[in-house]
């Protein structure tokens, strides 16, 4: 599932991306994927369902600490190290339970030791929040539609006065787009990695 559809991108705002010859479907899909990755890096959570395979240290009878929030399904798990691993059965996979950042194995125990468990799971929002979709569409226009303002411009002067521009990386601005940056700033704290110990 993409962060936004091609149709949504073409209809958004003033329909700046409506010209299919100038902005082909492939370009809109590629920028949606790029923005989804950037938003996940900034906010610490995937806004679309994402499959990931990780190798973790074993936890014995306790839970494994998952590196991603909002894990919705574990589709494969192997225990052991090196070339000697054992896949969990369908019944054992059904006994896995996600509780926040922890993955419990009800009726079983994870092996102890470094890199003893390999998991494949799906994580992230089932559907992106509407405010995130709007922010992503705004960034898509910013990335794709040319502007007369140079990337290094910090201020503009006209007969109305001098205006300071928001720029990426300045005072916590991710994109230099205030409506987008304000939305993105709300998520990292919500999904901060818990401290162990």
State whether residue 180 is helix, strand or coil: helix
Tell me the pLDDT tens digit for each residue of 136-181: 999 999 999 987 555 544 554 567 665 555 555 566 789 888 899 9
Tokens describing residue 165: 């521009």
Tell me the pLDDT tens digit for each residue of 102-138: 999 999 999 988 899 999 999 999 999 999 999 999 9
For the chain, the structural domain boundaries read 6-46+130-190, 50-123
Q: Residue 197 has what pLDDT?
A: 36
* CA-wise closest residue to 10 among 105, 122, 141, 125: 141
Tell me the pLDDT tens digit for each residue of 35-84: 999 999 999 999 999 999 999 998 888 899 999 999 999 999 999 877 78
Cα atoms in the 13 Å half-sphere on the side-chain side of 17: 27
* CA-wise closest residue to 3 among 42, 43, 31: 31
For residue 152, give Cα distances in angstroms to 35, 68, 143, 170. Answer: 21, 35, 15, 12
For residue 178, give Cα distances in angstroms to 9, 26, 34, 118, 184. Answer: 20, 28, 20, 40, 10
């Amino acid at each position: 599932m993409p962060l936004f559809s091609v149709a949504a991108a073409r209809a958004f705002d003033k329909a700046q991306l409506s010209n299919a010859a100038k902005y082909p479907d492939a370009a809109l899909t590629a920028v949606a994927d790029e923005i989804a990755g950037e938003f996940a890096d900034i906010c610490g959570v995937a806004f679309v369902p994402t499959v990931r395979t990780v190798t973790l240290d074993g936890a014995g009878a306790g839970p494994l600490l998952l590196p991603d929030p909002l894990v919705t399904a574990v589709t494969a798990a192997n225990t052991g190290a090196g070339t000697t691993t054992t896949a969990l059965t369908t019944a054992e996979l059904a006994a896995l339970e996600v509780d926040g950042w922890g993955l419990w194995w009800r009726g079983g125990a994870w092996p102890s030791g470094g890199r003893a468990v390999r998991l494949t799971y799906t994580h992230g929002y089932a559907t992106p929040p509407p405010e995130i979709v709007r922010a992503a569409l705004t960034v898509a226009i910013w990335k794709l539609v040319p502007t007369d303002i140079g990337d290094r411009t910090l201020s503009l002067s006209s007969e109305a006065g001098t205006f300071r521009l928001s720029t990426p990386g300045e005072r916590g601005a991710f994109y230099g787009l205030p409506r987008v940056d304000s939305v993105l700033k709300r998520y990292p704290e919500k999904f901060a990695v818990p401290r162990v110990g």
